[in-house]
A and B are shown apart, each in its own frame.
Chain A
Amino acid sequence: MLMLQELCQWLQDLQWATALRESEWMFPIVEGTHLLALAISVGTLMIIDLRLAGFILKDEKVSEVSNRIMPWSLVGFVIMFITGILLFASQAVKAYGSIYFRIKVAMLLAAGINALVFELTLRKSIRSWDTQEKPPFRARLAGVLGMVLWAGVIAAGRTMAYNF
């Protein structure tokens, strides 16, 4: 895995990554933006997942809830992704060595796969269960998994900052 570590070293030695790491104001601003974008992304996505799992807004169509909220969740995710990449680059070697960062990336990938599987399979049949109070088991599972995985991403992300 030496190659990955060298890549991290190269990344954080880039001029802008070094500047961000050493900045008095930019790092806190980028980090604060990353944190607060959580509310716009995961906080709103949670409502879609809860509908998918059959817990709330049961008389609303799943597709309607999803279509109305998802654009905003995506705006939040774009902000989180960009700020996240910047934060990672500025301390890539430290992140590489952190078990919590690895857990975070693994959970992010799992959340991504969960969403992708939903889009590729269940989305196609959504018309047949769109109005159901309790969507099919697999759809409900996708909703619950989404929430659990994102909570894990947040917890691992927060824990990265501590040195145990």
Chain B
Amino acid sequence: MSVKDFFEWADALWVSAMIRDSTVLFPIIETVHILALTVFLGSIVLLSMRLMGAGLKQLAVRKLAATLALFTNWGLATMLASGALLFGSEAVKCYENPPFFFKMGMLAAALLFHFIVMRPTLNAEAGKARQMLTGILALLLWFGVGVGGRAIGFY
């Protein structure tokens, strides 16, 4: 199965067709996607700032991470699920859309970073330099995903 086959397969799914044929489904799912973005990215902003020594400084990094885990985990899950639905409904269009591939590249990098670097750093007594770098990279990667996502609609 080539990449193009995969996009065509996703596009042809009944759920994709249902979203495409409906006037209101796409806007509703898109709104859910944006609300989840607000929740998720807001928590990432606070966690990154905490790692950089700003914001909720009185809280231990680990405790803030545990409190915000609800929003990072569910926010991420909601974004991925709603994003997959949005993608399916215009998969063939996405194939012709360079910002879409930029977004997916950034998303892959951001997800790997989130689970391999960000989470361990939040749970360990990491050094200042590692905390600072992790915070900066998390912001760059996730806002990069956001920029790519917004660009899909403008291309």
Which residues of chain A have a CB within 8 Å of any CB of chain B?
A: 28, 31-32, 35-36, 38-40, 42-47, 56-57, 60, 64-65, 68-69, 72, 151, 154-155, 158-159, 162, 164
In angstroms, Cα B31 to Cα A95, docked, is: 19
Residue on B nearest A158 in the bound complex, by CB:
B31
In angstroms, Cα B69 to Cα A47, docked, is: 12
Residue on B nearest A157 in the bound complex, by CB:
B34
Taking the closest CB of chain B, its distance from the CB of A40, in whole angstroms, is: 6
Number of inter-chain CB pairs below 8 Å: 89
In angstroms, Cα B154 to Cα A32, docked, is: 10
In angstroms, Cα B150 to Cα A18, docked, is: 22
Chain-A contact segment, one of B3-11, B35-43, B107-115, B127-135? B35-43
Q: In the complex the two chains form, is B49's CB within 8 Å of A72's CB?
A: yes
In angstroms, Cα B103 to Cα A153, docked, is: 26
Q: Is B94 an interface residue (CB 8 A)?
A: no
Residues of B within 8 A of A42 (CB): 38, 42
Number of interface residues of B (CB under 8 A): 33
Q: Is B147 an interface residue (CB 8 A)?
A: yes
Q: In the complex the two chains form, is A39's CB within 8 Å of B23's CB?
A: no
Taking the closest CB of chain A, its distance from the CB of B100, in whole angstroms, is: 15
Prevailing SS type, chain B contact patch:
helix
24 contacts between A and B (CB under 8 A): A35-B146, A36-B146, A38-B41, A39-B40, A39-B44, A39-B143, A43-B38, A43-B39, A43-B40, A46-B38, A46-B42, A47-B46, A56-B70, A64-B58, A68-B56, A68-B58, A72-B45, A72-B46, A72-B49, A72-B55, A154-B35, A154-B38, A155-B31, A158-B31
Pick from B31, B37, B44, B147: contact of A38, CB below 8 A.
B37
In angstroms, Cα B50 to Cα A68, docked, is: 10
B 7-45 binary contact with A (CB < 8 Å = 1; else 0) = 000000000000000011001001100110111111111
Given contacts A68-B57, A69-B55, contact A39 B38 (CB under 8 A): yes
Q: Is B59 an interface residue (CB 8 A)?
A: yes
Taking the closest CB of chain B, its distance from the CB of A93, in whole angstroms, is: 21
Taking the closest CB of chain B, its distance from the CB of A164, in whole angstroms, is: 6
Q: In the complex the two chains form, is B150's CB within 8 Å of A39's CB?
A: no
In angstroms, Cα B154 to Cα A136, docked, is: 46
Q: In the complex the two chains form, is B55's CB within 8 Å of A158's CB?
A: no
Q: Is B137 an interface residue (CB 8 A)?
A: no
Taking the closest CB of chain B, its distance from the CB of A72, in whole angstroms, is: 6
Q: In the complex the two chains form, is B67's CB within 8 Å of A56's CB?
A: yes
Pick from A57, A72, A154: contact of B31, CB below 8 A.
A154
